[in-house]
């Protein structure tokens, strides 16, 4: 590679992105004695997790927040760094606010009766059955792979039922899980994702499922702890703009100079890969995959109150809203000690697009109206109110994750999903087989990518003896339980 008048950092492995995937990859490699540098574009670690201590003393999670009991990789990482969790608040009766204003309270995980429920339950049971056929490690081996991937979720739902209320429920479920509309997402991706989580209920429910617990010190606590352990190996404010591969290694161009390494791990979502210039250009399959992987659209809004007033009325604060409200779902996001009351509202999919276009006062008024519908009149006057609109975040451009549009898996999945390209390895939750889209998937993807790199470095060391990376050669396989 030619010499240039720019600062040059030499390392064995360069990791791009200091979210959970990149930090885990770097931790694994560093544990194994491999010299590694992490390059992060923004001024903080944690990526799509971000906790903030508000002036009231309440810590809010603007991004990823929940951890479930089968999310073993994240739980192990948190345990290693002593990061505690507590159960999600779920006291009292939940509420459905129907599109015609009807309010239906219910106890337990899901309402037993209501408009569209029989058809909704039949179709979600069918989704679960079909998800049971998915091969999460080699999705293209799944029976009826191309057939499922040729349909959108919307097309499938409408082919199954004409019950508009069931369709409303299914649409809200897709918006809530993928922050997208059913017309945008591949049916196969929906099935893959359900399989990857261990079942539909795992995605949807709170207790013993994905929404089971929260981190006492915020969901980016384990990420901050990993970064502290890695020390000055993590470089913040260093966007990677271009990556060049040659016979000798990889050269990453950043705003602060060049980084030369033997291998690189790209631990960024597909939408961020798209912004990096590659020389040589990425293979067509990888580019095709990226083109079929848009980011979901979500905002989280927190309203902080002096006390969790809804509990006195027997309400859990958990509500699902259909119709014109910008908000799809509300949760009780109060801190563990319960000294304040916090409601979090999720705005997603097309509702987010419409709501984000409003001016700040109109946005606030419409969310507070939804919170009043969900929790009662006291919700109109929070002591503190804060929004995080993820599509406006420069390096993330949305959330919770990139989903796959119809035809993406069949057209480009086999070579484009996570197969290394020369010296480039892919991490990030979008490349996970287990808990794809979740923090846990980001962690396991970092472990997998680190194992790939260690194997490649060791193979080279055999060919030309030098430092090897024995510690992670027994590459851990992703597992649910």
Ligand X SMILES: Cc1cc2nc3c(=O)[nH]c(=O)nc-3n(C[C@H](O)[C@H](O)[C@H](O)COP(=O)(O)OP(=O)(O)OC[C@H]3O[C@@H](n4cnc5c(N)ncnc54)[C@H](O)[C@@H]3O)c2cc1C
Interaction between residue 367 and ligand X (CB under 6 A):
no
Which CB, 151 or 363, lies closer to ligand X?
Answer: 363
Instruction: Please report how close the Cβ of residue 20 comes to ligand X at its closest, in angstroms.
Output: 4
- Please state, in angstroms and rounded to a whole number, the distance separating the CA atoms of residues 308 and 316: 9
CB-nearer residue toward ligand X: 65 or 293: 65
For ligand X, the binding residue among 15, 16, 60, 131 (CB under 6 A) is: 16
The only residue of 175, 213, 396, 444 in contact with ligand X, by rule CB under 6 A: 396
20 near ligand X, judged by CB under 6 A: yes
State in angstroms the smallest separation of the CB of 352 from ligand X.
10
Across the chain, which distance is largest between two alpha carbons, in Å?
A: 72
| Class of residue 479 by CB neighbours under 10 A (exposed 0-12, middle 13-18, buried 19+) | exposed
With CA atoms as reference, report the closest residue to 128 among 194, 38, 43, 34.
194
CA 312 to chain CA mean position, Å: 34
Please list every residue from 114 through 133 that binds ligand X, using CB under 6 A: none
Q: Which stretch binds ligand X (CB under 6 A): 79-87, 184-192, 272-280, 308-316?
A: 272-280
Q: What is the 3-state secondary structure of 6-60?
A: CCEEECCEEEECCCHHHHHHHHHHHHCCCCEEEECCCCCCCCCCCEEECCCCCEE
Taking CB under 6 A as the rule, does residue 308 contact ligand X?
no
41 binds ligand X (CB under 6 A): yes
Given the complex with ligand X, which of 382 and 428 has the nearer CB atom?
Answer: 428
Q: How far is the CB of 239 from ligand X (least distance, A)?
A: 4
> Is the bond leading into 403 cis (omega within 30 degrees of zero)?
no
- Please identify which residue in the block is written with the tokens 């792979």: 145
428 binds ligand X (CB under 6 A): yes
Per CB under 6 A, the list member of 194, 272, 282, 450 interacting with ligand X is: 272
- Cβ closer to ligand X: 17 or 349? 17
Q: Name which of 11, 51, 448 is nearest 222 in CA terms.
A: 51
Q: With binding defined as CB under 6 A, does residue 182 bind ligand X?
A: no
Radius of gyration of the chain (CA): 23
**What are phi and psi for residue 331, nearest 5 degrees?**
-125, 155
| Minimum CB–partner distance for residue 102 and ligand X (Å) | 29
Compute CA distances 234 → 41, 64, 245, whole Å. 11, 21, 22
Q: How many residues does the chain have?
A: 481
How many residues of this chain bind ligand X (CB under 6 A)?
41
Distance CA 261, CA 228 (A): 22
Binding segment for ligand X among 63-71, 170-178, 193-201, 365-373 (CB under 6 A)?
Answer: 63-71
Interface contacts to ligand X, rule CB under 6 A: 16-22, 39-42, 47-49, 63-66, 239-240, 267-269, 272, 275-276, 298, 300, 390, 395-396, 399-401, 428-429, 437-440, 442
């Amino acid at each position: 590679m030619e010499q240039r008048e720019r600062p040059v950092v030499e390392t064995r492995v360069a990791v791009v992105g200091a979210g959970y995937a990149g930090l885990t990859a770097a931790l694994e490699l560093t544990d194994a004695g491999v010299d590694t540098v992490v390059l992060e574009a923004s001024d903080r670690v944690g990526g799509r997790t971000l906790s903030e201590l508000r002036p009231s003393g309440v810590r809010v999670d603007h991004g990823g927040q929940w951890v479930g009991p089968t999310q073993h990789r994240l739980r192990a990482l948190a345990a290693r760094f002593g990061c505690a969790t507590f159960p999600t608040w779920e006291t009292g009766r939940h509420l459905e606010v129907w599109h015609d204003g009807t309010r239906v309270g219910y106890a337990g995980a899901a309402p037993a009766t209501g408009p569209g429920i029989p058809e909704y339950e039949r179709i979600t049971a069918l989704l679960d059955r079909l998800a049971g056929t998915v091969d999460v490690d080699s999705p293209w081996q799944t029976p009826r792979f191309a057939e499922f991937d040729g349909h959108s979720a919307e097309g499938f739902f409408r082919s199954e039922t004409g019950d508009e209320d069931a369709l409303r429920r299914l649409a809200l479920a897709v918006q809530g899980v993928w922050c997208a509309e059913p017309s945008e997402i591949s049916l196969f991706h929906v099935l893959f994702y359900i399989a990857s989580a261990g079942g539909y209920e795992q995605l949807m429910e709170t207790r013993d499922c994905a929404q089971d617990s929260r981190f006492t010190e915020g969901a980016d606590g384990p990420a901050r702890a990993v970064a502290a352990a890695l020390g000055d190996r993590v470089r913040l404010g260093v966007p990677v703009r271009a990556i060049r591969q040659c016979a000798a290694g990889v050269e990453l161009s950043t705003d602060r100079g060049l980084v030369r390494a033997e291998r690189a791990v790209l631990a960024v979502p597909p939408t961020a890969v798209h912004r990096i210039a590659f020389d040589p250009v990425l293979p067509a399959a990888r580019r095709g995959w990226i083109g079929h992987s848009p980011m979901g659209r979500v905002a989280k809004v927190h309203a902080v109150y002096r006390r969790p007033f809804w509990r006195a009325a027997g309400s859990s604060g958990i509500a699902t809203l259909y119709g014109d409200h910008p908000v799809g779902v509300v949760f009780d996001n109060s801190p563990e000690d319960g000294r304040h009351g916090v409601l979090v509202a999720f705005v997603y999919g097309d509702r987010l697009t419409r709501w984000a276009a409003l001016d700040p006062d109109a946005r606030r008024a419409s969310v507070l109206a939804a919170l009043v519908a969900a929790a009662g009149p006291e919700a109109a006057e929070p002591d503190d109110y804060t929004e995080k609109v993820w599509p406006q975040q420069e390096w993330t451009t949305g959330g919770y994750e990139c989903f796959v549009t119809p035809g993406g898996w069949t057209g480009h999945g086999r070579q484009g999903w996570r197969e290394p390209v020369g010296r480039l390895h892919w991490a990030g939750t979008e490349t996970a087989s287990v808990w794809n889209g979740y923090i846990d998937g980001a962690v396991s993807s970092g472990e997998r990518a680190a194992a790939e790199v260690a194997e490649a470095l060791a193979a080279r060391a055999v060919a030309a003896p030098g430092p090897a990376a024995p510690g992670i050669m027994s590459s851990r396989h992703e597992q649910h339980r």
